[in-house]
Amino acid sequence: MSAIPTVTLNDGAWFPELGLGTYGLRGEEGIAAMVGAIGSGYRLLDTAVNYENEREVGEAVRRSDVDRGTLLVASKIPGRHHGRQEAVDSVKGSLDRLGLDRIDLQLIHWPNPSVGKYVDTWRGLIEARELGLVRSIGVSNFTEDQLTELIEETGVVPAVNQVELHPYFPQAKLRAFHATHGIRTESWSPLAKRSELLTEQILTELATVHDVTPTQVVLRWHTQLGSTPIPKSADADRQRENADVFGFTLTHDQLAAISALERGRLWDGDPNTHEEM
Ligand SMILES: NC(=O)C1=CN([C@@H]2O[C@H](COP(=O)(O)OP(=O)(O)OC[C@H]3O[C@@H](n4cnc5c(N)ncnc54)[C@H](OP(=O)(O)O)[C@@H]3O)[C@@H](O)[C@H]2O)C=CC1
Ligand SMILES: O=C(O)C(=O)[C@@H](O)[C@H](O)C(=O)CO
């Protein structure tokens, strides 16, 4: 398996084209799964205050035999920590739990519109970056309008927007907005939480054509769309399968056929209405 390629974010930092989701990876088993993933070549671990596994993520970084400087840890601020000073304090809390002296990518988890403080929270992340607590700053689950508001109010463009993205919800319009503004797209639930996606006929057909698995077809689709998928797997073999997607190329027509599976969100995770505290 070749190394996972990287891209450059709008702040000049490097960023992998594929990472590991860690929601649900907890305790010793979770740490072992993350250490194994790092050993298999993963360099980006995605966590959040609300995953309650930042301690495990930090421990996995320390137990791995890879230099800290070659690993990226991303975390996310929950709705209950929105506000300028609250955001800085939230980052400090994450750093304590991680046991690290820097978070590589800090995101706002959800805009939580009813709280009405995502612009202040963004100002807090800008301050956290100035304080050297975090390297890159971005958001998650932000719409075009919410991104525009952040940019107009602060002049700082998020490096990343991590959003629901999979063949059932390809987000073409939002991705085009990201491309225009130099925001890197990151795909959450990139396998649509496994669901029935992986048995779709077009995916099994393309898997045969390219001599790979349907999962690898889906993950390659993400990377060729210019998004960084963060599939979660607790299993070493599936982790290796998921990372080994850079040795084949889908054609333009094959990408379009996969995107034609579009049917909508997995659940009611509309950033305009969903509240996640
Ligand atoms: N910002 C946000 O609001 C959100 C962020 N996220 C992030 O995105 C990450 C990934 O999303 P998630 O919701 O976990 O869903 P995924 O789409 O990554 O699917 C995970 C499921 O797929 C299974 N799986 C993984 N690889 C394979 C494979 N090769 N073959 C068959 N099954 C496989 C896993 O099982 P197994 O472990 O047994 O392999 C698990 O059941 C999260 O862990 C989290 O970090 C997720 C939701 C929202
Ligand atoms: O996992 C996350 O990052 C979330 O934001 C949650 O909303 C998660 O997707 C969930 O619990 C869905 O039911």
Q: How far is the CA of 248 from the centre of ligand 2 (A)?
A: 31
Fold classified for 6-259: TIM Barrel (3.20.20)
Tally: H helices and E strands in the chain: 10, 10
Residue type, 239: Q
Q: ∠77-95-126 over CA atoms, to 5°?
A: 55
169-201 CB burial, b ≥16 within 10 A, e <16: bbbeebbebbeeeebbbbbbbbbbeeeebbebe
Pocket-testing residue among 50, 166, 191, ligand 1, by greatest number of atoms within 8 A of Cβ: 191
CA distance 220 to 214: 10
Q: Encoding tokens for residue 129?
A: 């970056």
Q: Encoding tokens for residue 91?
A: 């980052």
What is the residue-averaged pLDDT of the chain? Answer: 98
Q: Is the CB of 190 under 6 A from ligand 1?
A: yes
Residue identifier of the C-alpha nearest atom 25 of ligand 1: 233
- For the chain, the first-to-last Cα distance in angstroms comes to 39
Residue identifier of the C-alpha nearest atom 2 of ligand 2: 23
**pLDDT tier, 1 (very low <50, low <70, confident <90, very high otherwise):** confident
- Specify the pLDDT at position 6: 98
Q: Is the CB of 238 under 6 A from ligand 1?
A: yes
Average pLDDT over residues 47-75: 98
**pLDDT tier, 80 (very low <50, low <70, confident <90, very high otherwise):** very high
51 is catalytic: yes
Pocket-testing residue among 75, 188, 270, ligand 2, by greatest number of atoms within 8 A of Cβ: 188
Average pLDDT over residues 195-201: 95
Average pLDDT over residues 78-92: 98
Burial of residue 216, with CB atoms counted within 10 A of its CB: 0-12 exposed, 13-18 middle, 19 or more buried: buried
Residue identifier of the C-alpha nearest atom 1 of ligand 2: 23
**pLDDT one-digit tens code per residue, 146-159:** 999 999 999 999 99
Q: Is the CB of 163 under 6 A from ligand 2?
A: no
Q: What is the ipTM of this complex?
A: 0.97
Q: Provide the 3-class DSSP secondary structure of residue 58.
A: helix
Q: Encoding tokens for residue 227?
A: 């998004």
**pLDDT one-digit tens code per residue, 99-148:** 999 999 999 999 999 999 999 999 999 999 999 999 999 999 999 999 99
Atom of ligand 1 nearest to the CA of 192: 17
Q: Provide the 3-class DSSP secondary structure of residue 41.
A: coil
Question: Does the annotation flag 178 for ligand binding?
Answer: no
73-106 CB burial, b ≥16 within 10 A, e <16: bbbbbbbebbbbebbbebbeebbebbebeebbbb
- Specify the pLDDT at position 2: 82
- Specify the pLDDT at position 55: 98
Q: What percent of the chain has pLDDT over 90?
A: 99
Of 42, 51, 118, 168, catalytic: 51
- Specify the pLDDT at position 195: 85
Give the residue extent of every domain in the chain: 6-259
Q: What percent of the chain has pLDDT over 70?
A: 100
Residue identifier of the C-alpha nearest atom 7 of ligand 2: 276
CA distance 41 to 66: 10
- Specify the pLDDT at position 258: 98
Closest CA to 125 of 70, 71, 81: 81
Q: Encoding tokens for residue 150?
A: 């952040």
Atom of ligand 1 nearest to the CA of 22: 43
**pLDDT one-digit tens code per residue, 229-272:** 999 999 999 999 999 999 999 999 999 999 999 999 999 999 99
